Structure 1
Amino acid sequence: MEENGEIRPWDEMIPEALELIFNELSLQEKLNVIPIVCKPWGKVVAERVWKDIDIIEWGKLRNHDDRDRMLQMLINRSTSSLRKLCAYEISGNLMFSFIADQLIQRVYLHFIFTSASNLETLWLPRGQMTTSIVEQVAWKLSTVTNMDLSYCEILAPALEAIGRNCKSLKELHRVMYPPSYGIYGNSEEETRVIATTMTKLRHLELSYMFLSSECAHEILSSCLQLEFFDVRGCYEADFDEGLLKEKYSKISILRTPPRIIYQQVASTSQPRFYEDIDWEFSSR
């Protein structure tokens, strides 16, 4: 590089510029290119590029072993700078064995939670962790502000542990399967826990969770900073339109339209899903 008539070595490129360049690469390109860069660049990459790991879409096309190996490798490369971790259907067996046997080996659960001091975003949809494991390690996730536990077969005690330890949590995704799928049933206790322990939420998605009218209003009255509330498929929740306009006019509430609810109740088959549905927003 040339600056004021002088040639500057490439290894002196400012870290911010390198970060922007490498973040434009795909996951496969990063894996192929980064290992062969010079040491100064490699140091920048370790500190900056691997701090955000998102392999959800990649993981949907792989098996458990491939996902486990990739996650372990990427977290290892992130050193202690991990800020965002999004992974699909992580293996519950490795996680459980690490916690239960108190291993010191560098399996990827160890990486996740020893690197969690800077972690802000943790998305683990369809993760196969158990309730007891979440209860044991939730205290290590105190810095997390954005969490996705959709389709995870964990119970209310796990959510309670997260709520009591993740005091900075602002966004929670807890989307579940429609009841007719018969895959996993959730209880009203889970939504009550959210209302009592996650009062700083601004964004909450509870599609197909069991949500009574009482619990819905508990959440609305407890989470004073709430801006977005997704309750599609929560057919038990009946909202008082007058109360919504009077007390919660600043909250966007995404609901299943009445005509769709009627179709779900009247039909004996599995729910129909429409990509072009005009979902109903209340307030705002």
Structure 2
Amino acid sequence: MRKPKWEDLDRNCLVSIFGRVGLESLLLAVPFVCKSWYKATLIPQSWQHLDFSVLIYDDSRYDVDFPSRLMDTYRVEGDFPITAFIKSVVKRSGRSATYIVLPELPNRCMDEALLYVADECPALRTLVLHFKVFQGFHGPRSKVPNYISKWTNLQSLKLQSSFDLQELLTQISIHCKSFVALAIECAKIGRDEASAIVNFLPNIKVLDLRYAFMRQESLMTILQGCKQLEVFDARDCIGFNEGDEEILKHASHIRSFKHEGSDSVNIC
């Protein structure tokens, strides 16, 4: 009996695997294994999971950064075309991308890439933005709340920070009926922001507000109002003390409530 070969794997099986391996493997390894693997990378569903954080050089991971290796492999000369690369990869997904991570990039590149994702990724379920969503900034970053209407399948959103939180949550409540997870690093959660989370995200199951500036009254508003919370990360926050008995009492319905390292000192 002939031993099965990797190139004989069912095409649908290959696509399912390649949808999880990441951009580096999809672009620098998989297409060069054999013809059947190369053909599988031409199927849009192989490009549903797009993490563009590989564009940011990390010398602890590689001897040569990803853009340089990509340019060497495909014999591209000159400066790395960041925007064109992101758009070409998103285009390969055939509007089927469900997971996208966009890192901090030069303003012009970031703005154009975000606009393209808004128009070409209607199936998006998870979006991670490693940059601040500005209020008053005259560009696409300030228009992130306006893009939410294009992502009606969105279930999870992670932000580096946001100054448009109430407007953002308003749009999510209107357009994203399956939304269940929100993460905002270093957020400022005052009375209005806490009320917006409760009022606009009544079905929220996962909430990550680590490193937030959040008084105890705002935290209590969330704990009392978000009855379906299953995971709540409020570690290393400023504005309340870890181990507070009242907080723990109102968080008892949450399967995983993390609040270690939080302190009420030094908050204005």
For normalisation by structure 1, the TM-score amounts to 0.67
1:74 aligns with 89
1:122 — aligned with what? 127
Give the distance between the partners of 2:251 and 2:21, measured in 1 at CA.
46
Q: Is the 8 A contact 1:68 1:90 kept in 2?
A: no
| Aligned counterpart for 2:224 among listed residues 221, 224, 230 | 221
Residues 7-27 of structure 1, C-alpha deviations (whole Å, 9 max, x = no match):
99x6x7422321255357553
| Residue of structure 1 aligned with 2:179, choices 153, 162, 169 | 169
Q: Do structure 1's residue 200 and structure 2's residue 203 form an aligned pair?
A: yes
Is 1:125–1:152's contact at 8 Å kept on the other side of the alignment? Answer: no
Which SS does the other structure have where 1:125 is aligned? Answer: strand
> 1:51 is matched by which residue type in structure 2?
Q
Query: Which amino acid in the other structure matches residue 176 of structure 1?
Result: C
| Residue matched to 2:24 | 28
Point out 4+ residue stretches in structure 1 off by more than 6 angstroms: none
- Is the 8 Å Cα contact of residues 50 and 78 (structure 1) preserved in structure 2? yes
Q: Once superposed, what is the RMSD of the aligned Cα atoms?
A: 3.9
2:257 pairs, out of 240, 253, 263, with 253
**Aligned 8 A contact 2:190 2:218 in 1:** no
In the superposition, relative to structure 1, how do residues 223 and 15 fare at CA in structure 2: closer, same or farther (>3 Å)? farther
Contact 2:237–2:261 under 8 Å retained in 1: no
Gaps in structure 2 of 5+ consecutive residues: 59-64, 68-79
**How far apart are the structure 2 equivalents of 1:246 and 1:133?**
36
Q: How far 1:174 moved relative to its partner?
A: 0.3
Separation in 1, partners of 2:174, 2:244: 30
Please name the residue that 2:50 is paired with.
53
1:236 corresponds in structure 2 to 239
SS in 2 for 1:117: coil
User: Equivalent of 1:87, from 99, 102, 118?
Assistant: 102
Which among 14, 18, 21 is matched to residue 14 of structure 2? 18
In structure 1, list runs of 5 or more residues that go unmatched. Answer: 97-106, 178-184, 267-284
Normalized against structure 2, the TM-score is what? 0.71
Kept in 2, the 8 Å contact 1:191–1:210? The answer is no
Task: Write the deviation string for residues 161-209 of structure 1: whole angstroms up to 9, x where unpaired.
Answer: 23433232111110117xxxxxxx6654333322211121111111232
Between the aligned partners of 1:93 and 1:159, the Cα distance in structure 2 is 26
| 1:190 maps onto 2:193 in alignment | yes
1:231-281 Cα deviation digits (max 9, x unpaired): 1233223686256436734342211347xx38x649xxxxxxxxxxxxxxx
The AA in structure 2 aligned to 1:191 is: A
Task: Provide the aligned length of Structure 1 versus Structure 2.
Answer: 242
Q: Does the 8 Å CA contact 2:91/2:120 hold for their aligned counterparts? A: no
Decide which moves more: 160-169 or 220-229. 160-169
Distance 1:128 1:213, change over 3 A: closer
Give the percent of matched residue pairs that are identical in Structure 1 and Structure 2: 22
Q: Distance in 2 between matches of 1:207 and 1:113?
A: 27
Take 1:150 and 1:71, find their aligned partners in 2: how far apart are those partners?
20
State whether residues 195 and 223 of structure 1, in contact with CA within 8 Å, keep that contact through their aligned partners in structure 2: yes
